[in-house]
Amino acid sequence: MTSAAEGRVDGLIEGVRAGRVRDLARLISLIEDGSPQVPAILATLGQPAPGPRVIGLTGPPGVGKSTTTAALIAALRARGERVAVLAVDPSSPFSGGALLGDRIRMGQHATDDGVFIRSMASRGHLGGLAATTPAVVRVLAAAGFDTVLLETVGVGQSEVEVAASSDTTLVLLAPGLGDSIQAAKAGILEVGDILVVNKADRDGADATVRDLRGMIALGSREDGAWEPPVVRTVAATGEGMAELLAAVDAHGAWLATSGAGTERRVLRARNEIEALALAALRQRMERGDHGRRLDEAAVRVAAGELEPHAAAAEFIDGL
C-alpha cells in the first residue's frame, strides 16, 4: 500500500468508528467489491464479541417487510438503540443495479443519525451474502450499532441466507396470498424463529395463524428447543409491534441461556471462512493462465469432445 492509500484507509477507519455515514457506505462498497484492502481494515477495526444483534426479516413479496422493518426501527429507536438496516435486493447480476424502493419507503428514518440504511446486492459480489454480510455486520459493530435488521425480498434461496446470517429470523406472511405462498411454508417454517402474520386485520388472518400453529405443532422438536411463536401484527399502524419485540427479546434470551447462540455464531463463522476460501479459489480460477485453460476446456465440452467432470478434474489438478 502506498502511504497515500494508507492515509485514506486510516481516515476511513476513523470515520467508521465515528459512525460517519459516508465512510460506512464507502467501506461496505469495498467489502462488496472484494477489495484487497478489506482484510487489513477489518483486522484494524477488530472483532467485537458478541457484536450487534442481527435480526433477519424474510417472506414473500407483498407481505409488508419494509413496513415491518420501519416499525421495528421506530420501536428500537424508542428504546435508545442505534439501528442499521441492510436491505438485500434481487438486483440484476448483469447491471449491478440496486432497487431503491425499500430505501425510499424508509424515508421517515432517513434524517435520524441513529439509523443507517443500506441496500446490498444479493449477488454479483465475491462469495455472496455468506461472505459479505458478516463483514458488514462487523463494520456496523465498530460504528456502534446495537441491532442490525437484515431484510430480504423474495422466497427461495435468500431466506436461507438470511437465516444463516441472523441471530433471530422473522418470517413474515400475510393472509390471502394464495397457494404459492402455502407451498413455500414448509421451507419457511424451518428458517423462522418467529412467524409473523402481518396485515392481521385482513380477512383470513385467523386461518393463517391457525394453519401455522398447526404446522408447528406437527413438527418434532427436542427437549429445550425453541418453539417458534406466531405473532399477529399490523405494521402499518404499529399494532402488535410490542409483542413482536418481546418475542425477539425472548428468543435472544433463549439463545444466550441454551448455548444455541454460540452454536449459531460458530456455524456462521464456518460458513464465512468457507465462502471466503471458495471466493479466493474462484478468483484464482478466473484469472490469467487458469482462466485461459477454463476457456479452452469450455470450448471442448461445448463441442462434445470432453466430458465436464473430466474437464473439472483436469482443471483442479492444474490449479
- The footprint of a second copy on residues 7-36 (CB under 8 A) is none
Q: Is 190 in the site for a second copy (CB under 8 A)?
A: yes
Our CB check for a second copy shows the closer of 15 and 154 to be: 154
Could you say whether residue 97 binds a second copy (CB under 8 A)? Answer: yes
Q: Min. distance of Cβ 196 from a second copy in angstroms?
A: 17
**Of positions 21, 30, 38, 236, contacts a second copy by CB under 8 A:** 38
Closest by Cα among 112, 111, 103, 157 to 130 = 157
Interface region with a second copy, contact rule CB under 8 A, candidates 192-200, 239-247, 248-256, 303-311: 303-311
User: What is the greatest pairwise CA distance in the chain?
Assistant: 66
Q: In what order do the strands lie in the sheet with 194-197?
A: 115-121, 83-89, 147-152, 53-58, 168-173, 194-197, 230-232
Specify the residue, 42 or 115, whose C-beta has the smaller distance to a second copy: 42
Residue 35: CB minimum distance to a second copy, A: 11
The reply to whether 107 sits near a second copy by the rule CB under 8 A is no
The answer to the question of residue 268 lying near a second copy (CB under 8 A) is yes
Indicate which single residue of 5, 221, 267, 287 sits in contact with a second copy (rule: CB under 8 A).
Answer: 267
Answer left, alpha or beta for residue 66, where phi above 0 means left and psi between -120 and 50 means alpha. Answer: alpha
What minimum distance in Å lies between the beta carbon of 221 and a second copy? 13
Please give the residues from 223 up to 242 whose contact with a second copy meets the rule CB under 8 A: none
Minimum distance between the CB of residue 242 and a second copy, rounded to whole angstroms? 27
When asked if residue 260 is in the footprint of a second copy (CB under 8 A), the reply is no
**Is residue 90 a contact point for a second copy (CB under 8 A)?**
yes
Is residue 104 near a second copy by the rule CB under 8 A? Answer: no
Between residues 149 and 279, which has the closer beta carbon with respect to a second copy? 279
Task: Determine the length of the chain.
Answer: 319
Residue 294 binds a second copy (CB under 8 A): yes
91 binds a second copy (CB under 8 A): yes
The closest alpha carbon to 202, from 179, 242, 173, belongs to: 173
Please list every residue from 130 through 159 that binds a second copy, using CB under 8 A: 134-135, 153-158
Query: Nearest distance from residue 263's CB to a second copy, in Å?
Result: 9
CA neighbor of 269 nearest in space, from 125, 134, 79, 167: 134
Which of 2, 3, 4, 43 touches a second copy by CB under 8 A? Answer: 43
Q: Which of 7, 29, 47, 207 binds a second copy (CB under 8 A)?
A: 47
Which cell numbers hold the place of 178?
394464495
> Which range touches a second copy (CB under 8 A), out of 11-19, 96-104, 165-173, 207-215?
96-104
Residue 78 is a binding residue for a second copy (CB under 8 A): no
Judged by CB under 8 A, the residue of 3, 22, 80, 94 near a second copy is 94
Q: Does 48 bind a second copy (CB under 8 A)?
A: yes
